[in-house]
Amino acid sequence: MQASNVRYIGVNDHEIDLFEGQYYVPDGMSYNAYVILGEKTAVLDTVDLRKQADYLANLKEALGGRKPDYLVVHHVEPDHASSLQAFLDVYPGTALVGNAKTFQMLDNYFMLGDTPRHVVKEGDTLDLGDHHLQFVMAPMVHWPEVMMSYDTDDKVLYSADAFGQFGALDTAPDWNDDEARRYYLNIVGKYGTQVQAVLKKAAGLAIEEIAPLHGPKLSKEIPHVLEKYQAWSTYTPEDSGVLIAYASLHGNTAAVCEKLADILDQKGAGDIMLADLARDDEAEALARAFQYGKVVLAASTYNAGVMPAMDDFLHHLKAKNWQKRTVGLIENGSWAPMAAKTMKADLEGCKELNILEPVVTLKGAPKATDIPALEALADALMA
C-alpha cells in the first residue's frame, strides 16, 4: 500500500463543462498527480493548465523545501502535461522521465532546450532509494506514448488514463460503474486489443492499489474493476437489457419507441433504456449501447437519409469499435422511408452484428396496425 512519504498533489475541477471538448461532466473532473519523497524525489505528472496554480501550490507544500529530481510524464495529453513548462520554470534542472515517444510528443508542445531527459523503455526501473518505479508501456491506451509505472515497494500501479472515471474526487470519491463505463468507452473504447495487452501485463504484477490520472484510487475494488475492463475491452455485453436509441422528427418515432419499450417490459425483457439522441447525453447512450447486448435504432427519414442525430450516433459507435450486438431497426417516413437503408450502410464494417429482419417500417403517426410488427421485433430481440 502507498507509503507515508507519497503525497497527493492533484486538483479538482468544477468549472469544466465539457471534458475533451465533448463529454458532459456534471460532477467535474479530477486531475491526479503525486510526489514521492524518497531518497530521491519524483513528481508523477502535472495537471491541466486551467488548474496550474492550485497544482503548483500543492506541490510546493508537499515538497517542503525539497527540490524534485524527476518529473515522470505518464501521458502527454494536455489535461496532464500542459503545466509542464510552468513546473520547469519553478524547478529548473529537474530531469523529465518518459519513453522515446513521450519526448517526440513533448516537443510538439514545449521548447525544452537542454532540460535533462531520462528515456525509459518496457521494464526499466527508476531507483528512488526506498521506492523503485518499474515502467510498463501502454501504447494507444489511449495515446501512443502512454506508459504506466509500478512501485515495486508499495505495490501501487500508477495507471495513466486507464482505470479512471469522470467526476471530481470531492463529489465522486468512489468507483462508479456508470461513470467509469462512460469514461472508458467514449475515450478508450476503440482500443480493446491494446487494453487487453495491458491487462495481461497487469496480471503479472502484485498490485494492491491502482492510482489513475482521473478518478479515485482503487484497492478493494480492483477485482471488480478488472472484470469490467475485461468485458469492455473484449466488447462483451454486460447485461441482457435493451437500449432503444431514437432520432424523431415530429415525435411519432419517439411514440413508437415508447410503445416498443412497453411491449418489451410486458415480455420481461429486463432493463430497458430509451435514449433521445437529439436531447440526451450521446456519450451516455453510447456507453449503454456497449453495456447491453441488444440495441434498437429508430429514426425518421430525413433528406432521403436519416436524422443527423442518428447519423452522428452511428458514426461514434463505429469509431469506438462497436460489435457483437443484436440490432433491431425501426424507420419512419411519410412517403419514402429510407432511414433503415442508411443505418444499415452506416453499420457496415461493425463486426459480429446480428441485424434483425424484417425492419419495422412506419409511415407517419403510429397506428394499431403497426403493433404486430413491434410485437414481432420484441420477440426477435428476446429470442
- pLDDT tens for 127-166 read 999 999 999 999 999 999 999 999 999 999 999 999 999 9
Q: What is the pLDDT of residue 2?
A: 63
pLDDT of 3 above 90: no
Pair (84, 207) in one structural domain: yes
What is the domain count for the chain?
A: 2
Q: What number of helices (H) and strands (E) belong to the chain?
A: 12, 22
Q: Taking a C-beta distance cutoff of 8 angstroms, is the pair 218, 180 a contact?
A: no
Cell numbers that stand for 200 in this block: 495481461
Tell me if residue 31 falls in helix, strand or coil. strand
| Domain at 246, CATH number | 3.40.50.360
Phi and psi torsions of 118, nearest 5° = -115, 105
Pair (307, 195) in one structural domain: no
- State the angle between helix axes of 252-266 and 371-382 in degrees (0 to 180), rounded to the nearest 10: 50
Pair (315, 226) in one structural domain: no
Q: What pLDDT, in 10s, does the model give residues 194-243?
A: 999 999 999 999 999 999 999 999 999 999 999 999 999 999 999 989 99
Domain end call among 233, 250, 279: 233
With vertex at residue 218, the alpha carbon angle to CA 212 and CA 219, rounded to the nearest 5 degrees, is: 145
The pLDDT mean for the chain works out to 97
Mean of the pLDDT values across residues 94-118? 96
Cell numbers that stand for 174 in this block: 468512489
CA-CA distance, 143 to 259, in Å (whole number)? 43
Q: How many CB atoms lie within 10 A of CB 368?
A: 6
Pair (197, 281) in one structural domain: no
C-alpha to C-alpha distances, 68 to 40, 76, 177, 282, 372, nearest whole angstrom: 8, 19, 36, 43, 71
Q: What pLDDT, in 10s, does the model give residues 47-82?
A: 999 999 999 999 999 999 999 999 999 999 999 999
Pair (12, 61) in one structural domain: yes
How many CA atoms, within 13 angstroms, populate the side-chain half-sphere of residue 192? 16
Burial of 259 (0-12, 13-18, 19+ CB in 10 A): middle
Mean of the pLDDT values across residues 357-377? 95
pLDDT band at 4 (very low <50, low <70, confident <90, very high): confident
Pair (228, 152) in one structural domain: yes
Q: Is 1 inside a domain boundary?
A: no
Q: Is 245 inside a domain boundary?
A: yes
Pair (220, 244) in one structural domain: no
Pair (121, 247) in one structural domain: no
pLDDT of 190 above 70: yes
Q: Is 16 inside a domain boundary?
A: yes
Pair (77, 128) in one structural domain: yes
Pairing of strands 95-98, 70-72: parallel
| Domain at 11, CATH number | 3.60.15.10
Pair (181, 131) in one structural domain: yes
Tell me if residue 44 falls in helix, strand or coil. strand
End-to-end CA distance of the chain: 48
Pair (332, 300) in one structural domain: yes
Pair (220, 338) in one structural domain: no
pLDDT band at 254 (very low <50, low <70, confident <90, very high): very high
Q: Is 270 inside a domain boundary?
A: yes
Mean of the pLDDT values across residues 287-309? 97
pLDDT band at 1 (very low <50, low <70, confident <90, very high): low
Domain end call among 233, 253, 285: 233
Q: Is 295 inside a domain boundary?
A: yes
pTM to 2 decimals?
Answer: 0.95
Q: What is the pLDDT of residue 155?
A: 97
Q: Taking a C-beta distance cutoff of 8 angstroms, is the pair 365, 252 a contact?
A: yes
Domain end call among 198, 233, 268: 233
Residues of the domain holding 109: 6-233
Q: Is 187 inside a domain boundary?
A: yes
